[in-house]
Chain A
Amino acid sequence: MSKNIAIRVSLKKYSLESVRYAAHSLGGLAYALIKPLPGGRVLVDLSPRPGSGAAAGLAERFRRELEDEKLRERVSSANRELREFLLLKALNYRPKPPEKDDSGLTPQQEKELNDLIAQIEGEIKAETAKGASADPLGITSTWEEKYDSKNGRKKNR
């Protein structure tokens, strides 16, 4: 006798992605098979795992998960770009140095300095772009390559 639970879901109300996530979240309790149905619907066929004793309440739990997944998906898609921006900012984060009141430079000197910084930054950006995909965090570098062990060698002499 089949103890499978069949739930019909309208894809007008929920995205297929939400349906997948909701079904996956029950993966410890049941196997899920999602089949397309006519009329923009899908059938979620939940087959309880042996020994999970989860058949009762499974449909209700799936419905609850589906509602939550709908919210998660909307929050996630609405914030994708902002999130990427913030995480990129975090990866490159450097604490701001304390601001100085007066640089002691004339406006002309400040402009020259800013031009120089912009030029160097451009060069660094170009260099970084070349090797960006290789090893941006320097994971393959040794201590000597990353920090230069001159201090240590001096000590040895």
Chain B
Amino acid sequence: MTQRTAAKKTGKPRVAGLPYFTFRRMADGSVLLSNDAGFSAALSKADFARFSSGRLGAGEALYGELAAKGFVREMTDFESYAAACSKKNAFLGAGPGLHILVMTLRCNHKCLYCQSGALGAAGARTDMSAATARKCVDFALKSTNPGITIEFQGGEPLLNWKTLKDTALYARRRGGELNREVRLALVSNFSLMSEEKARFLVENEVSVCTSLDGPADLHNKNRIFTGGNSHADTVKWLGYFAARAAKQVPEYKTFNPSALLTVSKYSLGREKEIVDEYVRRGLADIFVRPLAPIGYARNLWPRIGYSAEEFARFYRNTLDYILELNAAGKKIKERHAVIMLEKIVNGGDPGYLDMRCPCGAAVGQVAYNYNGDLYTCDEGRMVGWEGDDLFRIGNVLKDSYRKVMLAPASRACAAASNLEAQPQCSRCVYKPYCGVCPVYNYETQGSLWGDMPASGRCALSLGMFDALFGLLKKPASAGILKGWVQK
């Protein structure tokens, strides 16, 4: 019996015959559906009306498409639906994979949007000692995650090079002894990079990531470096690492360098110049990241901040231009889109801790402050530096792994970032791909829980998802976007 005949017989819509789904009415009048397995479908307004009232005929092509994605209750294949749910939530119970070691709070830059609570370059009071760093590595290796990443951060981590070097060697040795997969990563502004340091990093398979905010004038306006030219240092060493990656040797794997773009008010309207700068530097992708009104950026928000609508426009323009370049044969991707497409198109988990349910706090990542204090994440550590230790979950010198995982902040963040318990998120069509940040909520709205309809982060995420799903509806752009995550 088709839904159409059933609806005619009773004279009532067969809503009870619909499976669980969420939906969103899009600006162009279409309606987007999604379900727990992460499948999505875009319907015209008329088709959605027929679908939601049970008047879609079994013989229709749309019926077949929806049935295959679990949107027809009678046709749901429990086994494949559960498999898809399981795949997209594979991170549950995996243990923290990202371990952020803050080598020092000192920094020689004074970036306008800095959240990290960095101090001046002088004095070593906030440098992590080699002994503490080794304890951090030992702690990270207790994680049940099969592959862990140890990320050296700051401040500017190269200001504590001796400890960084010792820790990298120790992590490599311990990883080998325990037969564990250990990835090493460095986030640096490159201003203190030297040939010797760069060689060590390459030979020890430490991947490098920096910030590149666009052409020199824009980059240097955001990233103030009184000791020199930040942009010049950045592009010099990006070039060095890219050249090394291009000449692989059998002894070790050399990674391509990567860069992050932090969008400030000064970036708006300069989308093409920024993307062109990334292409010029030979970077394979650009990670468009919005500013958050927390840390140092909060005080300067009127000067460097923007509305969610302004960011959405920037993001959409950037994506449009990147797609234009792709169509012309240039290879560059937007990393936020890649992360989301991995979820939307492949149904996988790309391991992005900021956008998942629950968020990565403690269960996906741990931030290790210079003194061994442990935090749910690096943002939580920054709140601690401002004098509020709500997100502190222990100390690596004193506390057991179990105690840290059971810390009140670990549990509170997991509960607060459960989208199923958020009134707005639980009904949002982007729920299968999204995530909330308890630290952002706490900093901007005064509660871990937050209030999503009034949240700037929620508005930013909606804008990005709207842009992406809008492009996925167009065959030409969909082809390029799907190609970015083709296995």
User: A: which residues have CB within 8 A of B?
Assistant: 21, 24-29, 49, 64, 68-69, 71-72, 74-76, 78-79, 82-83, 86-87, 89-91, 93, 95-96, 137-144, 146-147, 149, 151-152, 155-156
The answer to whether A83 touches B177, judged by C-beta atoms less than 8 angstroms apart, is no
Partner among A27, A71, A152 whose Cβ is within 8 Å of the Cβ of B52: A71
Tell me if B189 is interfacial: C-beta within 8 Å of chain A: no
Interface string of B8-29 (1 = CB under 8 A from A): 0000000110111111010000
The answer to whether B178 touches A147, judged by C-beta atoms less than 8 angstroms apart, is no
Interface string of B65-88 (1 = CB under 8 A from A): 000000001000011011111100
CB of A79 to closest CB in B, whole Å: 4
The verdict on A87 contacting B95 (CB below 8 Å), with A78-B16, A95-B83, A147-B144 known, is no
The answer to whether B144 touches A146, judged by C-beta atoms less than 8 angstroms apart, is yes
The answer to whether B405 touches A149, judged by C-beta atoms less than 8 angstroms apart, is no
Contact residues in A for B86 (Cβ distance below 8 Å): 90-91, 93
The answer to whether B453 touches A93, judged by C-beta atoms less than 8 angstroms apart, is no
Contact residues in B for A147 (Cβ distance below 8 Å): 144
Which chain B residue shows the least CB distance to A75? B18
Contacts A25-B424, A27-B424, A86-B85 aside, 20 further interface pairs with beta carbons under 8 A come to A21-B423, A27-B451, A28-B454, A28-B455, A74-B15, A75-B19, A76-B20, A79-B20, A90-B36, A90-B81, A93-B86, A139-B93, A140-B406, A141-B402, A142-B401, A143-B142, A143-B144, A143-B178, A144-B142, A155-B176
Tell me if B365 is interfacial: C-beta within 8 Å of chain A: no
Report the bound CA distance from A155 to B402 in whole Å: 26
The verdict on A142 contacting B19 (CB below 8 Å), with A25-B424, A86-B36, A156-B177 known, is no
Contact residues in A for B73 (Cβ distance below 8 Å): 79, 82
Report the bound CA distance from A25 to B462 in whole Å: 13
CB of A145 to closest CB in B, whole Å: 8
CB of B240 to closest CB in A, whole Å: 35
Interface string of B146-183 (1 = CB under 8 A from A): 00000000000000000000000000000011111000
Tell me if B137 is interfacial: C-beta within 8 Å of chain A: no
Partner among A95, A142, A152 whose Cβ is within 8 Å of the Cβ of B179: A152
Q: Which 5 A-B pairs have the closest CB atoms?
A: A137-B93, A90-B85, A27-B453, A93-B86, A79-B20
Where chain A touches its partner, the secondary structure class is helix
The answer to whether B78 touches A24, judged by C-beta atoms less than 8 angstroms apart, is no
Report the bound CA distance from A137 to B21 in whole Å: 27
What is the size, in residues, of chain B's interface with A at 8 Å between Cβ atoms? 47
Number of cross-chain contacts by CB at 8 Å:
115
CB of A3 to closest CB in B, whole Å: 18
The answer to whether A93 touches B82, judged by C-beta atoms less than 8 angstroms apart, is yes
The answer to whether B20 touches A93, judged by C-beta atoms less than 8 angstroms apart, is no
The answer to whether A141 touches B144, judged by C-beta atoms less than 8 angstroms apart, is yes
Report the bound CA distance from A82 to B15 in whole Å: 15
Which chain A residue shows the least CB distance to B176? A155
The answer to whether A24 touches B424, judged by C-beta atoms less than 8 angstroms apart, is yes
Contact residues in B for A64 (Cβ distance below 8 Å): 25
Which chain B residue shows the least CB distance to A138? B93
Contact residues in B for A141 (Cβ distance below 8 Å): 144, 402
Q: Quick one: which of A68, A75, A83, A149 has the most chain B CB within 10 A? A: A75
Report the bound CA distance from A64 to B23 in whole Å: 13
Tell me if B92 is interfacial: C-beta within 8 Å of chain A: yes
Contact residues in A for B52 (Cβ distance below 8 Å): 71
Tell me if B459 is interfacial: C-beta within 8 Å of chain A: yes
Tell me if B393 is interfacial: C-beta within 8 Å of chain A: no
CB of B74 to closest CB in A, whole Å: 12
Contact residues in A for B424 (Cβ distance below 8 Å): 24-25, 27
The answer to whether B423 touches A86, judged by C-beta atoms less than 8 angstroms apart, is no
The answer to whether B459 touches A28, judged by C-beta atoms less than 8 angstroms apart, is yes
Interchain Cβ contacts under 8 Å between A and B, 10 examples = A72-B22, A74-B15, A75-B20, A138-B144, A139-B93, A139-B95, A139-B363, A142-B402, A152-B180, A155-B176
The answer to whether B82 touches A90, judged by C-beta atoms less than 8 angstroms apart, is yes
Interface residue ranges of B174-202 to A (CB < 8 Å): 176-180
Report the bound CA distance from A86 to B81 in whole Å: 8
Tell me if B32 is interfacial: C-beta within 8 Å of chain A: no
CB of A70 to closest CB in B, whole Å: 9
Report the bound CA distance from A55 to B452 in whole Å: 20
Tell me if B143 is interfacial: C-beta within 8 Å of chain A: yes
Report the bound CA distance from A79 to B74 in whole Å: 12
Report the bound CA distance from A138 to B5 in whole Å: 49
CB of A78 to closest CB in B, whole Å: 5
The answer to whether B402 touches A140, judged by C-beta atoms less than 8 angstroms apart, is yes
Interface residue ranges of B51-109 to A (CB < 8 Å): 52, 73, 78-79, 81-86, 89, 92-93, 95
Partner among B25, B85, B143, B363 whose Cβ is within 8 Å of the Cβ of A68: B25
The verdict on A87 contacting B22 (CB below 8 Å), with A28-B453, A140-B401 known, is no
